[in-house]
Structure 1
């Protein structure tokens, strides 16, 4: 699929954030690094093996219950779960988050074509905003309008519909770029054209 051809007649493109614009793991692994450093400082337990454990666990099984598994493996007090969770919300990252190369080029082309760009993201709004603030947008940030579905207490499809109304656009004039069946389903509920983000990388 030629994504550039797909959007040539669109006036607005809607994106999810994680694993669409950048890899979610780039954020999480830096959070794990910071937490491992925190544990080394407070409990005198070496950070490197703790970080390696979390990295490997994430790669194999994802992030579910990763704190509990790590705490068991290294005999770490469960009281630190609060610190772990807070880091996910407000961590100051050692490195900026970088957009996928082809997605950066795609966004830049949308700006050149004067196509509106919206981000509609699920998840904790504070965490998602923290990611956005620490992303290297290469000057694109002024062209983005962001909506947090949890903050608005609306489904993505409801937000999509409201965005169309606000911009006086028909369904055929917009496009959703997502990464999973949920994104596709939400777009389909209001008959919005949809493409997988991976199609932009081919």
Structure 2
């Protein structure tokens, strides 16, 4: 659907970050690249097979126990798990994270129409902030208000409700854009309209 159809009666739009504004894998694969290079430098182990292994495990199975699997496969000392986890939080990425084209255009349309843009993101707050800092926002960063779920220690539905209250808005005046069933459930529990990010095009 055309983006204007979603926002014509809205004053505020709430977004999740990962797999909504950009692919989470664009961040994680760069973290794995940096970790494999770190191991190559410190342990003289070839980075390329390590990176390929991590990429394949992530794409086929996910992130669970990825360090342990990689350490077992390549004989990497478990002391490096600290470095692996730290890179997730503070990695300086070789390449900036790029917004999905439809999300970039949608957010630009929101700015033109003077709608408020809010990000409510789940995950390690330091890691999520690191992603935000290394995203190419094309000037949109000055229009963003960001809430970190773990930092606030509240359910998303409660955070959504507080955002509405702080902006003196009804649920009918806001929209949530997400990419998972949990966000959909949290939104609908307080009567917020919810759409999947892939449904938006301009």
TM range (shorter): over 0.9
Match of 2:104 in 1: 104
Q: Is the 8 A contact 2:31 2:88 kept in 1?
A: yes
* Counterpart-to-counterpart distance in 2, 1:74 and 1:47: 10
Unaligned runs of 5+ in 1: none
Backbone CA RMSD of aligned residues: 1.0
1:7 offset after TM fit, Å? 1.3
1:169 offset after TM fit, Å? 0.4
Q: Is the 8 A contact 2:15 2:178 kept in 1?
A: yes
Q: Secondary structure at the match of 1:146?
A: strand
Match of 1:35 in 2: 35
Runs (4 or more) in structure 1 with deviation over 3 Å come to none
* Counterpart-to-counterpart distance in 2, 1:121 and 1:108: 20
Q: TM-score, normalised by structure 2?
A: 0.98
Q: Is the 8 A contact 2:88 2:127 kept in 1?
A: yes
Q: What does the per-residue CA deviation read over 1:123-164, in whole Å, with 9 as the maximum and x for residues that have no partner?
A: 000000000000000000000000001001111111100000
- Asked if 1:180 is matched to 2:180, the reply is yes
Q: Give aligned pairs, total.
A: 202
1:4 offset after TM fit, Å? 2.6
Q: What does the per-residue CA deviation read over 1:17-58, in whole Å, with 9 as the maximum and x for residues that have no partner?
A: 000000000000000000000000000000011001101111
Q: Secondary structure at the match of 1:108?
A: helix
Which shows bigger deviation, 56-65 or 139-148?
56-65
1:102 offset after TM fit, Å? 1.0
Q: Secondary structure at the match of 2:20?
A: coil
* Counterpart-to-counterpart distance in 2, 1:99 and 1:64: 26
Match of 1:45 in 2: 45
